[in-house]
Amino acid sequence: MIVLRREIGDVLRDARQRQGRTLREVSSAARVSLGYLSEVERGQKEASSELLASICEALDVPLSLVLREVSDKIAVAEGLHVPDTIPADVLAGMYSRAAASREDLTPVG
């Protein structure tokens, strides 16, 4: 069975590890306890919307990108074809650009 919190946890842990950061560093930046972040990453605790936003901010990763990755993984698990899944290298570039230009972002429209 697909459990959303596990998929979210996997994506958050991957994002943190891609940055070479420790649980301690990210939990401190996100102002959540290390134990809480660890449980979220392992899919053992549901992250509230507010704390998930804090964790994404601490990781400097847009929430939308985390959810997009989660959606793509779940689509595969659901047996649905995902015609435009973002390739891993493109995704990595998007994360970097998002982080680099985060200060400059202005709302669309």
Using CB under 8 A, which of 34, 74, 91, 99 touches a copy of itself? 74
Neighbouring C-beta atoms of residue 31, cutoff 10 Å:
11
The smaller minimum CB distance to a copy of itself, of residues 20 and 105, is found at 105
- What's the burial of 80, exposed, middle or buried (CB within 10 Å: 0-12/13-18/19+)? exposed
Distance CA 9, CA 34 (A): 14
The smaller minimum CB distance to a copy of itself, of residues 20 and 78, is found at 78
Please name the residues in contact with 102: beta carbons below 8 A apart, sequence gap of 6 or more: 60
Q: Does 68 bind a copy of itself (CB under 8 A)?
A: yes
Using CB under 8 A, which of 49, 88, 89, 103 touches a copy of itself? 49
Contacts with a copy of itself, residue ranges (CB under 8 A): 1-6, 46, 48-50, 52-53, 62-65, 67-68, 70-72, 74-82, 84, 98, 105-109
